[in-house]
Structure 1
Amino acid sequence: MLSELVRTPVSELDGVVTRVLGQLARDAGAGWACLFRMDQGRMTPTHAYASEGLPAIDCAPDILLRPVMDRLVAGQTVSVTDCRDWTGCGALGSFVTIPMREDNVLSGVLGLGFAGQHEAGPGMLDRLAAAAGVLETVLWRRQQEKMHIATAQRLEATLAAMPDLLFEITHDGHFAEFSAGPERLMIVPHDQLKGRHYSDLLPADVSEVVRKALKQCLADGRIEGIRYSINLSEKKRWFELTGATKPASEPGRPPTVIFNVRDVTSDTLMRDELTRLGKIVESMSNLVCITDLDENIVWVNAAFERQTGWTLEEIKGRYFGEVIRIPGMDPDNERAVERAVAARVPHSGQTVNQDRWGNRYWIEYNVIPLEDSAGQLVGFVSIETVINRLKEQEAAMALLAQSATEARQRLENAVRALPDGMILLDDQNRVVVANSAYYRIFPQLESYAQPGASLRTVLEKGAELGLFGPGGSKEARAAFVEERIAVYGRAFDADEVQLPDGRWFRRMHTRTSDGGVVIIATDVTARHNQIVALDAANRDLREAEQRLRGTLQAADVGMWEWDLVSNLLHVRGNWAQMLGRQDAEEGTFEMADFLSIVHPDDLERLPSPQAQAEPAGEGFSEFEFRMRHESGHWVWVLSRARVTAWGADGSPRIMSGVHLDVSDRKRLERQLQAGRAYLSEVMDTSIAALAVLNERGEITYANQEAERILALERSALRGRTYNDARWKLETLSGDPLTEEELPFRQAQAKGGIVRDIRFALHLQDGSRRVLSANAVPLMPADGERHVVVSFSDITEELAATVRLEEARTRAEEMSKAKSIFLANMSHEIRTPLNGVLGMAEVLDSIVTAPEQKHMVATIRRSGETLLTVLNSILDMSKIEAGKMVLEEVPLVLSDLLSQVEALHRVKAEEKGLELTVLTSAGADLPRMGDPHRLIQVLNNLLSNAIKFTERGHVRLKVSCRAGKPITFDITDTGVGMTEAQVERVFESFEQADGSMTRRFGGTGLGLSIVRQLVHLMGGTITMHSHAGSGTTVRVVLPLPESNRPVVLTAEPDTGPPDLSFLRDRKVLIADDNFTNRLVLSEMLAQTGVALTLVENGREALNAWQEEMASGTPFDLLLLDITMPVLDGMGALLEIRAQEKSAGLLPVPAIAVTANAMPNQVADYIVGGFDTHLSKPYKRKELLHAVHSLLRS
């Protein structure tokens, strides 16, 4: 039996042990047998046997073994011959216990019981001791096997839970039997690895990494930290390889290597990100300093070292304040920083610091608490921006703003004073402004070319009126309009056109950077008339020349003959007639008489006969001079003469010639010279440089502006080529300008005009200018092709554009800072205001005495006035920033007027005033507009009228004629204003005078906001007032009629909501402000809800988790947004995530916050809140929100 016990498998051992106990009992004559095992210091029965016919006994160790335990521990066999008196032994009369020992420590007991008294002999005890030893050995083996199995199971579970891969690789690179790890990281399943070589499964680059790692591990016994990447499921992942050799199981066999492969993709990406962030911080121009909790410096970046002159090694461990602060310089700021550090909250501001040499500099800083990965505060980070230049610029901004205003005024005056017609369009081709010269040119269009009118409308009306365009059919006019709109779509265009009324205009337009269009119309009719006159003069000149030739042919000229001997002049033909003389066609004059009628200045021009001393028949002299007409004016005469007779001595004797009247030609020549001089002067006074180049690129003409830009005189410019050594042409980016890119070459290649070709010009003095050029090819009369190039120096213009862009960027940053300030201001005011108004409302429901009621009402009225001021400032900020968006929905004026009248009637009756609201027919028709802003305008105007009226009446009269704008007239019999007061009453923060503020209160923003809202709605507002005689305000609004139905957004007030359903509902309130928690709890005190109040989001999350675990979850969450430790958004995000993972319905949540800007409210709803309450709120609003959420 004992041999069977030794051979029995562990799984079948219990049955065999029981049979062995039975055999031992029978051999010893015992009725019972029991086996005890030591388990964690206590004896526990594991196997028992009772002979047939005997009852089972209780083998409790406390009954049988405790009295003999000391002897058993000492290794003694104990025989109790009589135990019938022992409590709990039942039918047992005597028993024998044999200790079972392992490593000389009691590990179990074998016991045999007898029904009567019995004493075992020595032989039996020896056999029992031997059996106990065999049982101990077998049971110890079973225990070890169980431990091995448990260990193997734990190891298997551990390997399965590990995120790493484990492989056993043979010395030659084959996978052994052992592998473990997540299947998702495996290239092939584990069961397909054994016996395969790693190079069959891994990419070549990874195989090379494994080969080197295997070789190094076999050589050194261990490797670690080897990283490589591999693509899994089309995604790149990083792994880290660690390995160690495993000795061979048999001597003489090579060892294997156990490789641990860990997925370090996230770690690698994090390291890369940290490296990048480190480089960014180190290279930042901002000053960065990290301190510990005691504000001792831990680390600074390079920018900090450069600015302060201190190195990290010099100041590490020193107190931050003593390094850069100026003692006593900014005590308020120092206290604010100390409070923020003590409260462990972020803080920002501006202050003056100093470097190691005492040089001061302005900074804008942000101090941020620094937490470790566990969320524990370990120090602070200070990020600073040096704003010396900003401070200097702020000082200059006022001067710049004033200069800009003056420049704008000068520009507007210049536009009004322009002799040319000018019209400015926006980027939608709508009229922005047209000057008076434009209306003088086209007076018929003055009522149409008004701001807001479309370009198409102006063109169509002008074509219809016959002011411009082809006229004729409607289709022709439409085609003309489309053609002009397409032309105005270009960046630039200029041409000359004759209008139907005969006038000539040069029309030019330029697209501005914001997409608008500037159109200039210059009347060039006079110049065209001059050109026509010049053409006519040229024709007259040619005709005169033809007549002269005809006269000569027909001898219709004045002919003369001068006898040099007698000094007499013989004339004939038309000689006398051209001078208006009544002499006969032929006559004789003394030469002195002839010279007396020649212009004195021309006497020297007359030729000397001796100068004509040439052989007869050769040589003519031709000259022009003036002779006096009989009527007194001078006649220009062309004289052509030669010596026709010579004396015997060879001296001239007779000179003959003809006289032609060339007065008309001279007059035309003078006109032509004047025209040329005028054109030359125009080109020389042009603000654009002009140059003419021939086909070889040589300059043949340049005006004065070209001389200035090219730094050469005109005479030095002629004949120079575009690539002259005195200058260098290049692109704006600095590359050489190729010949094909030159403006005159582009014009030649295109065969037409090219515009705004921009390039850079380097001169010999080292200066660099940026030019913009236009070029057009010409074909002069001589047949050689030329190109006219006009160019302008736009260097300063581009620099100004850059400066304007920088100024715009700074303005946007200042606007952003202003928005942040307003949001913070709103939050900081609304939070305490919530406590004031909330507790006042609670107090109002408690007190009953009229005097106390009056006091509470005063508190509430003052708080609501402060809230109105805050909302007015925010409205004004929206308007100034251009962020005020108006609705366009159907509304009914009669409904809105009823609301306005009901709101103000009580106040009017309190002051004893008569309030009258009069409406015309049509007030009940739907119209389009913004009802909220319209009510705001009317409320403000009526409130002012009632406020400033002590006696009499206030009247609102509304005119709603069909097809006309709506007119609102608000008239009062109040204090009135002077003309000077009326002029400034619409300005921001202005009232009629200081006494008004002291007497009636107010910020002076109301009417400013009203005017801005009216203008946003496309309307007008005017005010007429006289001191002591009341005031009349007229508002005209274009509210078009609507065919859409009016949607009622407000439900009728059916009285207070039924709050009985709130009893015993559980509500969690989280707010770091004690007053806010008190207001909420007091407002909900009478509803029967069970409140839980906590101070931050972390406590709220813990409370929610505790209630969920207890099975009594909260019915509603009221969470503040801005809280320490964890804010409301973060807390709700955690709650929503846990609800989703647990499959729970989301608990209703209300954001109770002073951050109530529209964009912030949108963020709350997107973040999981069901609705929000804006601080300060009323109890009615709170109960309505709670009622809506818990009822639904």
Structure 2
Amino acid sequence: MRAQGVALPEGPLWDAFLEDIEARLSEAASQAQSTQALSATTTRLVALMENLQAAVLVESPDHRVALANTTFCQIFGLDHTSWSLVQQDAIECLADCAQCLVEPAQLMAIADAGARGDSVATVPELRFRDGRTLSLELVPIRLGGEGFGHLWMFHDITARKADEQRFAAAAAELAVSRDKAVDLANLKSDFLANMSHEIRTPMNGIIGMAGLLGDTQLAEQQREYLETIRSCGESLLALLNDILDFSKIEAGKLSIESIDFDLFEVIDDLTSILGANAFNKGVELVCYTAPNVPRLVKGDPVRLRQILSNLVDNGLKFTSQGFLEIRVGLAQDGDEDVLLRFEIEDTGPGVKPEALPRLFQSFSQEDTSTTRKFGGTGLGLAICKRLCELMGGSIEVESLLGRGSIFRFTLRMARQKPGHEASGLAALPPVFLVGLPPALYRSLRVQLGAWGLRTDHLPPVPESLDLLRSLPEAWVLGCQGGGNLSKAFFQGLLEDPKLSCSVRSLILTSRYSASQQKDARQAGFKELIGIPVRHGQLLDLLSGAPRRKGATEGTPAATAAVELAAPRLLLAEDNPVNQRLALAVLKKCGHEVDAVSNGLEALNAAMAHSYGLILMDCQMPEMDGYEATRRIRERQVGRQRTPIIALTAHAMVGDREQCLECGMDDYLTKPLRPDALVATLNKWLQPPGDPAK
């Protein structure tokens, strides 16, 4: 072997030597590569650590500093560089760092636990003497084959803690502001409730006594003065009601109930109460319910009655002649719920087209002349709109100037389980409508036809009796007219032996005219139906169903004389004026009444005597009406339950619910309207001789 012309030794020994040299050179090259790779990895690791915002210290298994970054030295204020800390005792290093803390022992306890191999938890806060705050994460790590060390990571959370403190302060300030707002809202509600009570109490006396005075003999000028007093009182009451309702809606305190109720009964009660105004104005108030409308539904009857009352009142206010009709139909049908459509049509002056878009806005009326002529706040329609929306419906208006208006609204109601509906009426005898006013005739003919009954018009003349004699059976729904021919027709119905057996006569008389009812009874007719017609009552009569409470024929007008004996009542009312008013109305209806002035007296009287019904004022001395009712109910367990009707000057959200929860059955607000009072009595009292009694 030669190397550059020089002869080299040969032989086995020399070959072994060369192989060893080659192996050593290869190993050295491999080590150099590993060292270079390790150096590159270390460089990358150090660069990574130096770029971390956290302070990092790596503790080796023998509790030496393996690595640290510059941030660690800066945060703890160490004079060392990060490289100069390497291989120093980690526990001693941490002990130096702990001197910066408010509680040095906190960090040392963690270090000692780590040195013993105990598991240690993350520390959320380490507070420095200079006001800074750090968090600590201690993570076990494996360092090659040497065993487990620890990675110490300190995060400066001073800024975050400051933000949290600011947020906490802001939240506390917001909570204080919220509490103040709630207190202010409650104060406003309490103020409105108290003002409502204080205003309604004297208003009850003013309006009620004016109504009683109107039933006495007065000169024409005196009656004009009295009507002015009554009108002003009603306007003030309407203003108070609108403001209360609107404030409840705006405050979000108006809740919508979902309870079972009879839709027909709600509409019948409404027409009975509002019909007095229509009768006094000479306007026909009629109603039609489509045959597919369910009678038993689930929703909020109070809010439904409020919407209908606002719209009917509004229509009657602007209608001086003609009619006002309430129509109920089905917009959508479903297995679980239905969308009911209500229409209120009047023959008033109508609304100008340019005024329609703002009709449902708050405090809005057609123009200022409307307010001057008819009064009102312009809140009623806005309240109706908000209530419809809360109940899953909508409202709109269609109007022709000089022709009248139609207000339409929809409400979603759940179905009740099936009950008594208009079924099986097609097999009944034909029904003849005799002497009815035009609007009432149209309404009844459509309604009876929708129920499947055969109907026809029959003029009230003696010749019509021959047609009735030719039929095996027939019904007559009629109004007695003033002419001689009409009198002869109705007299023939009563006196003809055949007709008295084959024809069933239902005579329609105004609920608000005692003279009409008296004339009909004196003529010999026994079955009277009040106008406006209660469709639930009419349906029950035609189908032969037992009458429900509230389906009695009598009149809800306070002026109507009650000839039959009425049950004895108990009146609990502490205000002398209100007590005198209620006594006058009740006695005029034929009731004997015991009056007491506080809840304790009411309790004692209810336990000592049997009353057909109790009228209970809610706010009374010694014991209020709520507590008196609760105690009466406790003592009536297992005995006949006496209906208790709340009388209250409060009309805020929750008042009705409070009355019902304590055991009361119904709720009347003051001022006490005689027509509403008597309608409520008719609802809860069974008349003598009633088949259902």
TM-score, normalised on structure 2?
A: 0.48
**More helix as a share of residues:** 2
TM-score, normalised on structure 1?
A: 0.31
Q: Give the greater-gyration-radius structure (CA).
A: 1
